[in-house]
Amino acid sequence: MRDPKYDILFEPLAIGPLVAKNRFYQVPHCNGGGYRDPSAAAAMRGIKAEGGWGVIFTEQTEMHHSSEITPFIELRLWEDKDIPGLRRMSDAMKTHGALAGIQLAYSGINGPNFYTKEVPLAPSAMPIRTFTNDPVSARALSKSDITDLRRWFVNAAKRSKLAGFDLICLYGAHGFGIFQHFLSRATNQRSDEYGGSLENRSRFAREVVADIRDAVGDTMAITMRVSLDEQIGNLGFSNAEVREFVELNGDLPDLWDLAQGAWEDCSGPSRFKEEAAQEVLVSGIRELSSKPVVGVGRFTSPDVMARMIRQGVLDFIGCARPSIADPFIPKKIDEGRVEDIRECIGCNICITGDMTMSISRCTQNPTFMEEWRKGWHPEKMNAKGDSSTVLIVGSGPAGLEAARALSLRGYDVAMAEATTTLGGRVARERLLPGLSAWGRVVDYRQYQISQRPNVETYFDSRLGAAEILEFGFQNICIATGAHWRADGVARQHVVPMAIDAAMPVWTPDDVMAGKHPADLSGRTVVVYDDDHYYMGGVMAEVMAKAGAKVILVTPSAYVSDWTRNTLEQGAIHLRLVELGVEIRLNTGMTAVRAGAVEVNCSYTDHRRELAADAVVMVASRLGDDALYNDLIAREAEWADAGIRSVKLIGDAAAPAPIAWATYAGHRYARELDTSDIGDALPFRREVTELEPL
């Protein structure tokens, strides 16, 4: 039964001519699939419908071919041909009474047009503003271009209606949509009636909304997504100007969708942003307009959600990442199962799917984007197969997810853990600065497992092959994890580097185990990062906070290079600067000597020495697969021991981010006792239909 304090989240509310059944609003979010994987993306939205969301949106949809953001893979609505694919998505969204929304994006100064080869159009002529500083510029829209663009929006709105959508979101946030480019004095330097005063800069938005309302407004609602604060200095569209804009144009859209700054500001990872971080920026805007307001803030707590509505901060709870980690949040709150919510950990791995143009993953929800490809459902598992018992060795994210999912299938699961805590690497990493929310990977699974009668956990149980052969389990899942290498092997060095034993060298495992002195005042520590994800930056932070003078050495041109894909690279660099860390980019490490390290320039190989008292070696990790190899060596004994399968999963098989481990655990659980597919592809794939020659 639902707790009455959450009733407020289930009150229906009108959006223009339509009514949303509740206050759960899945704001537009990318998924790395988009136009390339339309059925996969549609099925993912369908799961949200089943999970109870009142409003469900597409990702950004390029509404005209003259503005597109290749290489990023979103949706396209360029011609009638695109309608069936989008209808598949709107159909899926509407299956359980949700309103289906499409976000129309004209990328303007953000669209390099690499695919269409059209000249980009924007309010003012200037270089295209993208993550990759593409060497192309936009031409300023002429008056007749603006007339064309208004018509293109109307065409897209009509096609959206034909595609079955209820709501149209006009994108003007995150620096990505043309409405913001008109509103901001940074990107709109026009001297005609579309530039200058705020009233002039709002003109284009007013015209487009009026045009669309005339065309489809009787049956469709129009929402406008604007940034709460562009945060690019004095010329940017500031929070004060946003308030003025809403006040001036209070009744313009049927709903205001407010999102913070650039994408990296809006989707701030938990390392740098708390839940509801945008509250100050959004508070009070609702009073400036008669229209409802939706805002985001990585909301996972139903109490915070209810407070947002009760205090009049928001009318709708906007969620992207929380709806990815748990598409069933509304249903779980409704059914009084809030403890079952699989909370987003704010790691931004989902965003890396878009940034790498692959297909998204989620650390917490391994079924994300596999709903169609593999037929995986986030809440339901396939039926149990022939065998009955599974021994999982290791309780890291891979082992824990395998245990949770296998127990749902009905297997009797025993999980053996060498230490006295569940969670493997997550149990250690959650104690690092900024990473406590990552502990939710363990907390969610630990609770779920505790509710199941068919999972037994054994601590202090470091198992060897001999014991496993004695136990009599039918299936053995080896999830024994990985360890950081101390020998420097990663990318710069493919064989161990020269290291003098007189120099203290700590791996991240050593640091997490507290093997370094707690007080490092007066000592110089070199953090060598040839891993390039978060660990190097975090280690530098730990060392600096312990009082050391820290020199971060990395062969890359960026601190924590790969975190550009999780949108936190800038924040990490800034934090290290603030902590006084000396940053040496494009610099490798060629030798560790007593009292010094030898570093080299990544380009010239010019070498020099840096005096140091210790080194933190953030190189690479090696899978702990010895137990698996022992078992394989004794395969002849399996049949007598009753063993039917032995499998190596997660970091023990191949070290990778935590999301890879939860995926591996889930996959293991899904595939146990299923028939061998031989050489067939293990997922469904959509191939573009060929046009006639």
Which positions lie near ligand SF4, rule CB under 6 A? 321, 324-325, 344-350, 362-364
> Which does residue 404 bind out of ligand SF4, ligand ADP, none, counting CB within 5 to 8 angstroms by kind?
none
Supply the minimum distance, in Å, between the C-beta of residue 360 and ligand SF4. Answer: 8
Cα separation, 203 vs 198, whole angstroms: 9
- On the 0-12 / 13-18 / 19+ scale of CB atoms within 10 A, 92 is buried
> Which does residue 461 bind out of ligand SF4, ligand ADP, none, counting CB within 5 to 8 angstroms by kind?
ligand ADP
Lookup: tokens for 471: 């136990």
> Which does residue 657 bind out of ligand SF4, ligand ADP, none, counting CB within 5 to 8 angstroms by kind?
none
> Which does residue 349 bind out of ligand ADP, ligand SF4, none, counting CB within 5 to 8 angstroms by kind?
ligand SF4
- On the 0-12 / 13-18 / 19+ scale of CB atoms within 10 A, 686 is middle
Q: What is the longest distance spanned by two Cα atoms in the chain? A: 85
Supply the minimum distance, in Å, between the C-beta of residue 353 and ligand SF4. Answer: 9
Determine the 3-state secondary structure of 178 from DSSP. helix
* Look-up of token digits 């250690």: 428
> Which does residue 651 bind out of ligand ADP, ligand SF4, none, counting CB within 5 to 8 angstroms by kind?
ligand ADP
Supply the minimum distance, in Å, between the C-beta of residue 660 and ligand SF4. Answer: 12
Cα separation, 12 vs 9, whole angstroms: 9
Whether cis (ω within 30° of 0) applies to the bond prior to 378 is: no
Lookup: tokens for 486: 């101390």
Ordered DSSP codes for 79-91? SGGGHHHHHHHHH
Q: Which is nearer to ligand SF4, 32 or 120 (CB)?
A: 32
Q: Which is nearer to ligand ADP, 85 or 423 (CB)?
A: 423
> Which does residue 401 bind out of ligand SF4, ligand ADP, none, counting CB within 5 to 8 angstroms by kind?
none
Cα separation, 61 vs 83, whole angstroms: 12
Q: Which is nearer to ligand ADP, 35 or 438 (CB)?
A: 438
Supply the minimum distance, in Å, between the C-beta of residue 414 and ligand ADP. Answer: 11
CA distances from 667 to 48, 310, 361, 673, 692 (A): 21, 41, 13, 12, 39
**Degrees, nearest 5: CA angle 374-376-378:** 155
> Which does residue 627 bind out of ligand SF4, ligand ADP, none, counting CB within 5 to 8 angstroms by kind?
ligand ADP
> Which does residue 399 bind out of ligand ADP, ligand SF4, none, counting CB within 5 to 8 angstroms by kind?
ligand ADP
Supply the minimum distance, in Å, between the C-beta of residue 508 and ligand SF4. Answer: 20
Q: Which is nearer to ligand SF4, 344 or 391 (CB)?
A: 344
Q: Which is nearer to ligand ADP, 120 or 665 (CB)?
A: 665
**Among 450, 401, 396, CA closest to 418:** 396
Supply the minimum distance, in Å, between the C-beta of residue 688 and ligand ADP. Answer: 36
Cα separation, 536 vs 79, whole angstroms: 47
Determine the 3-state secondary structure of 670 from DSSP. helix
Q: Which is nearer to ligand ADP, 281 or 402 (CB)?
A: 402
**Among 317, 480, 406, CA closest to 674:** 406
Supply the minimum distance, in Å, between the C-beta of residue 415 and ligand SF4. Answer: 22
**Strand pairing partners for 222?**
168
> Which does residue 325 bind out of ligand ADP, ligand SF4, none, counting CB within 5 to 8 angstroms by kind?
ligand SF4
Q: Which is nearer to ligand ADP, 497 or 664 (CB)?
A: 664
Q: Which is nearer to ligand ADP, 37 or 624 (CB)?
A: 624
Beta strand pairing call for 13-15 and 18-20: antiparallel
Q: Which is nearer to ligand SF4, 364 or 507 (CB)?
A: 364
**Among 518, 582, 516, CA closest to 546:** 518
Which contiguous run of DSSP H or E holds residue 645? strand 645-648
Supply the minimum distance, in Å, between the C-beta of residue 398 and ligand ADP. Answer: 3
Q: Which is nearer to ligand SF4, 278 or 348 (CB)?
A: 348
Supply the minimum distance, in Å, between the C-beta of residue 346 and ligand SF4. Answer: 5
**Among 363, 375, 365, 355, CA closest to 34:** 355
> Which does residue 650 bind out of ligand ADP, ligand SF4, none, counting CB within 5 to 8 angstroms by kind?
ligand ADP
Supply the minimum distance, in Å, between the C-beta of residue 658 and ligand ADP. Answer: 6
Q: Is 595 left (phi over 0), alpha (psi -120 to 50) or beta?
A: left
Give me the count of residues in the chain: 693
Cα separation, 584 vs 617, whole angstroms: 15
Cα separation, 181 vs 226, whole angstroms: 10
- The amino acid occupying position 29 is H
Contact 625, 480 (CB under 8 A): yes
Supply the minimum distance, in Å, between the C-beta of residue 208 and ligand ADP. Answer: 49
Q: Which is nearer to ligand ADP, 539 or 653 (CB)?
A: 653
Determine the 3-state secondary structure of 176 from DSSP. coil
- On the 0-12 / 13-18 / 19+ scale of CB atoms within 10 A, 246 is buried
Cα separation, 193 vs 209, whole angstroms: 17
> Which does residue 394 bind out of ligand ADP, ligand SF4, none, counting CB within 5 to 8 angstroms by kind?
ligand ADP
Binding site for ligand ADP (CB under 6 A): 393-399, 416-419, 424-425, 461-463, 479-482, 624, 627, 650-652, 661
CB atoms within 10 A of CB 271: 25
> Which does residue 362 bind out of ligand SF4, ligand ADP, none, counting CB within 5 to 8 angstroms by kind?
ligand SF4
Cα separation, 363 vs 350, whole angstroms: 8
Q: Which is nearer to ligand SF4, 34 or 236 (CB)?
A: 34
Alpha helices in 311-455 (DSSP H): 321-325, 329-334, 349-355, 397-409, 425-429, 440-450
> Which does residue 350 bind out of ligand SF4, ligand ADP, none, counting CB within 5 to 8 angstroms by kind?
ligand SF4
Supply the minimum distance, in Å, between the C-beta of residue 583 and ligand ADP. Answer: 29
Contact 578, 537 (CB under 8 A): no
Supply the minimum distance, in Å, between the C-beta of residue 563 and ligand SF4. Answer: 13
Q: Which is nearer to ligand SF4, 323 or 507 (CB)?
A: 323
Supply the minimum distance, in Å, between the C-beta of residue 365 and ligand SF4. Answer: 6
CB atoms within 10 A of CB 335: 13
> Which does residue 393 bind out of ligand SF4, ligand ADP, none, counting CB within 5 to 8 angstroms by kind?
ligand ADP
Q: Which is nearer to ligand ADP, 269 or 481 (CB)?
A: 481
Q: Which is nearer to ligand ADP, 166 or 651 (CB)?
A: 651
Supply the minimum distance, in Å, between the C-beta of residue 362 and ligand SF4. Answer: 3
> Which does residue 321 bind out of ligand SF4, ligand ADP, none, counting CB within 5 to 8 angstroms by kind?
ligand SF4
**Among 262, 356, 380, CA closest to 562:** 356
> Which does residue 469 bind out of ligand ADP, ligand SF4, none, counting CB within 5 to 8 angstroms by kind?
none
Q: Which is nearer to ligand SF4, 347 or 490 (CB)?
A: 347
Supply the minimum distance, in Å, between the C-beta of residue 363 and ligand SF4. Answer: 4
